[in-house]
Amino acid sequence: MGRLFFYIYQEFRYICPTNIFSVANQIKDYLSLVKFSHTIFAMPFAVIGFMLGVAQPEQRFDGYLFILVLLCMVFARTAAMAFNRWADRHYDRQNDRTKIREIPSGVISSGSAAWLVVLSSLAFVGTTWFINSICFALSPIALIIVLGYSFTKRFTWLCHLVLGIGLSLAPIGAYLAVTGEFDWIPILFSMTVLTWVTGFDIIYALQDEEFDKSNELYSMPSIFGKKKALKTSSFFHLMSIAFLALAGSLAGFGFTYWAGFTIFSALLVYQHTLVKPNDLTKVNIAFFTTNGIASIVFAAFVVTELIIR
């Protein structure tokens, strides 16, 4: 039976006119290049921003608009990550931690990555045109921020903050897509994302402290050392909790919101128990797993709060 399945598999590969297996592997490589799984950090907050807009008077849920907002998130983030990998390709080849990435390992050429940046950027701007005039007008500014982050590590240790600014555009951008107007509550959620992302990016940068020093790259760990960097990360995460508390109070949210707030805050505190200046073995758990869960769970509680109000 095993040989029969193997024979069918081989024949299917032979007769498939588009070589579906090769295409699937290429898609997988490109998804890995842009770390598509990391979309879970900002995407839930974009959903929060969208639902905050829907909750406003005379607004309603529009499935078509919701899809456009999600596409904007995917296109903008794909452009940003592909550009980051392209811009850092020379450094990635020298770093033992990153030399297995798709461009330095030769899985994807730098030219192909550059084309992905161009196409994703055009797709992002084009999608905003179908949303409304303010999103379209602001789309170039958003692109400058998310693409420009890749160069900030060359000259400032505030690079983590610039990454936070880039991802913080998600909730306010989604809110603008629905209402076409700015408002304090989505701005507070954007400030939450800014400080939250800044905090966990500092933790992630701990892994490259020595590499950054030897290559004259700027990061908080390379400039201030691991201990001060972790304290700064804790400060930013405390600010995230404060912004969420302020947003919940001003919006008059109920029990469901505060339950989500409690879980999100606890997970932020928990990740700081995982990473120590002399023990970075759990950085990936703190960076990806904990923050990914925090974002999804919190968004689920907030959306539920907005639906049942």
- The C-alpha atoms of residue 240 and residue 230 are separated, in whole angstroms, by 15
From 155, 152, 167, 156, select the one nearest 87 (Cα to Cα). Answer: 152
From 15, 7, 87, 77, select the one nearest 42 (Cα to Cα). Answer: 77
Q: Is 6 part of a structural domain of the chain?
A: no
pLDDT tens-place string over residues 77-124:
999 999 999 999 999 999 999 999 999 999 999 999 999 999 999 999
Beta carbons of 177 and 69 less than 8 angstroms apart:
yes
Q: Is 17 part of a structural domain of the chain?
A: no
Q: Is 81 part of a structural domain of the chain?
A: yes
- The C-alpha atoms of residue 113 and residue 11 are separated, in whole angstroms, by 33
From 5, 214, 261, 223, select the one nearest 91 (Cα to Cα). Answer: 214
Residue 285 has pLDDT above 90, yes or no: no
pLDDT at site 144: 97
Amino acid at 18: T
- Rounded to two decimals, what is the model's pTM? 0.91
The enclosing domain of 288 has a CATH number of: 1.10.357.140
Q: Is 65 part of a structural domain of the chain?
A: yes
Q: Is 12 part of a structural domain of the chain?
A: no
Residue 143 tokens, joined: 């692109």
The alpha-helical segments, DSSP class H, found in 16-42 are 20-33
Provide the 8-state DSSP code for 174. H
Q: Is 32 part of a structural domain of the chain?
A: no
Q: Is 237 part of a structural domain of the chain?
A: yes
pLDDT at site 41: 83
Mean pLDDT on 47-67: 96
Measured CA distances, 2 to 8, 12, 21 (Å): 10, 15, 20
pLDDT tens-place string over residues 184-229:
999 999 999 999 999 999 999 999 999 999 999 999 999 999 999 9
Hey, CA dihedral for 261, 264, 266, 272, is it positive or negative? negative
- The C-alpha atoms of residue 152 and residue 106 are separated, in whole angstroms, by 25
Q: Provide the angle, in degrees to the nearest 10, between the axes of the packed helices 184-205 and 43-54.
A: 180
The whole-chain average pLDDT of the chain stands at 91
State the total domains in the chain: 1
Q: Is 8 part of a structural domain of the chain?
A: no
pLDDT at site 8: 44
Domain hosting 107: range is 38-308
